[in-house]
Amino acid sequence: MRVIGIDPSFRACGISDGEHHCVFITVPRDTDRTQSESIRRRCDEIVNGIVRWIREFHDGPDPLSLYIEAPAFGQASQASHLYEIGWLMNDLHTRLPDLVGRVKRIEEVSTTTIRKWATGKGNTPKDGMKLAVYKRFGVEFESDPGCDRLFAFLLCRFGEAVERGEADFTPSRKRGAKRRRGTPPESPLRPIPYPQEALCPSERPKPRTSPRKASGGDSGGRAGSVR
């Protein structure tokens, strides 16, 4: 199993196998008529570049395992960025395996997990990451302003550690799939009943009548008939 790390980005998408590191840069063009056309073209350039890179350095029968940095959904004012990265992540999960044909595993790893695994802290700045990588692996990434190659390299090394059983990794829960508090993981959520106004007349539950009222009497012995 060959592990490849990918740091997805539209401006500079990093990729590494631990030995060879590359960055694919795409920019908007005046010839792009719409935003969707620009995103589609840039996604094609990145995915096709990754395919060429894999065929150049790993053109063999060995299966591939991709470890991709997960998008940071918690950042504010990043709606446009998330819209673009969503297209790219979809292509990395669908088109790239179809074009390569040997991808057996794809995992998304948060940047906090990578930083904590490499340095012991999940909020280590990029300059600290460069120093930590050099001390731990003996590899320099000085000419890497966005740390795209560095993070791709760490994703590859982290994936290799996971494949060997040397690092614990639990894939993060999908967005919107959180459990309700107090609900056991093995039991499904209880369905929420609809209000009676939303049900058809035939589906509405019939009101219960007590036997005492149905017989027309009460505890005082007075008749229950309507005058």
Write the pLDDT tens digit of every residue in 20-72. 999 999 888 888 888 888 889 999 999 999 999 999 999 888 899 999 999 87
Contact predicate 150/144, CB 8 Å: yes
119-133, 148-162, 185-199: which is most confident:
148-162
Average the pLDDT over 158-184 and give the result: 72
pTM recorded for the entire structure? 0.72
Q: Over 50: is that where the pLDDT of 2 sits?
A: yes
Contact predicate 130/141, CB 8 Å: yes
Give me the pLDDT at residue 198, please: 47
Query: Dihedral (C-alpha) 88, 94, 100, 106: value to the nearest 10 degrees?
Result: 90
Q: Over 80: is that where the pLDDT of 211 sits?
A: no
Side chain identity at 34, as an amino acid letter? T
Q: Over 90: is that where the pLDDT of 212 sits?
A: no
The CATH H-level superfamily of 2-163 is: Ribonuclease H-like superfamily/Ribonuclease H (3.30.420.10)
Give me the pLDDT at residue 160, please: 94
What residue spans define the domains of the chain? 2-163
Per-residue tokens: 6: 């990918």
Average the pLDDT over 217-222 and give the result: 49
Q: Over 60: is that where the pLDDT of 103 sits?
A: yes
Q: Over 70: is that where the pLDDT of 150 sits?
A: yes
Which residues touch 142 (CB under 8 Å, ≥6 apart)?
130
Mean pLDDT of the chain: 79
Give me the pLDDT at residue 188, please: 47
